[in-house]
Chains A and B, each alone.
Chain A
Amino acid sequence: MQKSRLAALSLKWGDKLVAGAIMVIALAFTVTAYSYSIGSVARIGPGMMPFLIGTCLFIAVGFVILWPSQEKLDTVRVPVVRMLALLGSIVIWALTIDRFGLVPATVLLMILATAAYKPIRWRSTAIVIAATTAGCVLLFVYGFKLPFDIVSF
């Protein structure tokens, strides 16, 4: 009971925090837009449209903060470690694609991404990784003729 009340409270404050963050971004956006040339009504400058958009965003998010919607937010389980593994797999791919080529990058991504899901069955995973990597090379390198290095050290 105590736990669910705490979760509801954190969701409520989280909602305000998100709205507040958008408001700050809207304000910064409007100020930055104002630093560009606004121009005149007949010949509007590069800053006019972003300035209008930033102002509208600020007002709209103000409505969200002042009159929050009554819909109930559901608590969402966030498995941090597994999510980090999944997000890390993308970072690893981005770090390795230019240096080591498509095959090592894809294999590393798949290993780390699969580790985010339980239970890990390494035998079937190895087959899936091999098939996916081969499929990607065939489709993108030989099919679409994209300028990827298959393997480069």
Chain B
Amino acid sequence: MELLSNLSLGFSHALSWENLLFCFIGVSVGTFVGVLPGLGPLAAISICLPLTYYLDPTTALIMLAGIFYGAQYGSSTAAILLNIPGTSTAAVTCLDGYPMTQQGRGGVALLITTITSFLGSSFAIMLVMIFGPVISNFAMNFSSAEYFTVMLVGLIAASTLSVGSPTKGIVMVIAGLAISMIGTDSYTGQYRFTFGILDFAEGVSLVALAMGLFGIAEILKSLSGSGPIEIDSKSITFRSMIPTRDDVRRIWLPTLRGASVGSVTGAMPGAGPALASFLAYAVETQVSRKPEIFGKGAVEGIAAPEAANNASVQTAFIPTLTLGVPGDVVMAVLLGALMIHGITPGPNFIAQNGPMFWGLLASFWIGNFMLLILNIPLIGIWIKMLAIPPRILYPVILSLVCIGVYSIRNNVFDVYLMLGVGVVSFVLDIFRYPTAPLLLGFVLGPLMEQHLRRALLLSRGEISTFVERPISLIFLVIAALLLLRLVPFRAMAAKLRKNTG
């Protein structure tokens, strides 16, 4: 009963004209960047971040979240039609989606991904509604020691479970923590690492850092990329999208399994939608009676991963909003957006910001419904977006990026900072240093320092406080296990043997 009254509160907020408008803008921008290979939701959210300064926090969050889940819908379009995943989450969709296009069933694949994405999202939204407040109540028992250790686990998991070298991921997350130390120490008022530059006194701007890392670096990468893609959008008609009765019968269970896998994965720190879709696909190949059909245009092979990645995007809000621990970098940026407005997510978030929490959840449903409308009849328009030449698209984005960064403090220093960060990010990307963990470390750094200080102050300097509290101990053990996975025991033993002759 309480859930229903909360939901009605949420819908009353989400259905205001302003929230509806920005939800629509968010899902449209999300679909757009999802369709375009290269420019992902993270870059789009970073670019839109300055706009949120001028919006109500709920409206801002609704728009940014809309970009995130809208991109999951859009990314499958390029994956199915061109075998190019718009984002990493749609890489699995290529496996069976593109063979369906080759068989002349691209329209069916697009409709199935849209419907299963909607079902996966709806399943996960219900889980967030039920479990969000439960986890929030549980986290009320957390003290600073638990917060510090849970953030530690979040950071280590995010950097070691992501794609690429886990050691380089750890380096980047610590680099992010280091950058977050620049500025004025909030306890003593001492300037740290400002080197006499007053612009650093308030710390490094989150917007300049995010735009440099993801916006500028992405634009620089575009210079060595290929030109626009040629595709016949007239070949996808509404009639060509209608699935057969057999298709419909075959997608229900994979959708449910995918949504379940995605929901669990999304709530775990560091896992993210890409891992969710890979896991869902792996589960399907294991449980199927005909595993040989996968990779040859099986509808199950697109239904399960699409339901999974959309479900994971929704449940990723559980740890972010109830614990204040973002599971991945997109969530870190959203957390940063809330902090810009003076709102710190945590166990008290739902109690203190009920209309915002329930309004956001209600907007998820509204946004997903908008995406159904945007994706089915307007598919031809999204396909045409693939043909926008980089010489038009990127200069336009660049001008928006510069205006956005400058407008935060009316200071060109942030523009130069963004430029420098962009160049460094481009170089780091060549050598496979993942830049996403850096931003995660940057957002969590000040919070970690605050909780470390408070925990040690309350325990009168007893470091054992972190192991004496059971929940904190569990998190420490998890962090240690994650770190132990990284130690190259075999390589070290081989090197020792070699050295000792």
A interface residues with partner B (beta carbon < 8 Å)? 11, 14-15, 18, 22, 26, 29, 32-33, 36-37, 40-47, 49-50, 53-54, 56-57, 60-61, 63-64, 67, 69, 71, 73, 76-79, 82-83, 86-87, 89-91, 93-95, 97-98, 102, 105-106, 109-110, 113-114, 116-118, 120-121, 124-125, 128, 132-133, 136, 140, 144-148
Given the interface pairs A117-B391, A132-B399, the reply to whether A69 lies near B223 with Cβ below 8 Å is no
Are B488 and A46 touching (Cβ within 8 A)? Answer: no
CB < 8 Å neighbour of B167 from A63, A90, A128: A63
CA distance A30 to B171 in the complex (A): 15
B142 contacts partner chain A, Cβ-Cβ < 8 Å: no
Contact B188 A57 (CB under 8 A): no
Which residues of chain B have C-beta atoms less than 8 A from A94's C-beta?
402, 406, 412, 415-416, 419
By Cβ-Cβ distance, the 4 closest A-B pairs, closest first, are: A42-B461, A117-B391, A113-B395, A69-B165
Q: Are B463 and A41 in contact (CB under 8 A)?
A: yes
Which residue of A has the minimal Cβ distance to B173? A60
Check A57–B178 contact: CB distance below 8 A.
yes
B389 contacts chain A at the CB level, 8 A cutoff: yes
Chain B minimum-CB-distance residue to A91: B419
Interface size on B, residues (CB 8 A): 65
Q: Which of A18, A22, A144 contacts B54 (CB 8 A)?
A: A144
Contact of B400 among A61, A136, A148 (CB under 8 A): A136
**A-binding residues in B (CB < 8 A):** 51, 54, 164-165, 167-168, 170-171, 174-175, 177-178, 181, 185, 187-188, 190, 192-193, 216, 219-220, 223-224, 389-392, 394-396, 398-400, 402-403, 406-407, 410, 412, 415-416, 418-419, 423, 427-428, 430-433, 445, 448-449, 452-453, 456-457, 460-461, 463, 486, 488, 491-492
CA gap between A32 and B181 in the complex, in Å: 12
Cβ B395 vs Cβ A114 within 8 A: yes
CB-contact partner of A61 in B171, B216, B491, under 8 A: B171
Give bound CA distance, A121 to B51, whole Å: 31
Q: How far is the CA of A49 from the CA of B449 in the complex (A)?
A: 7
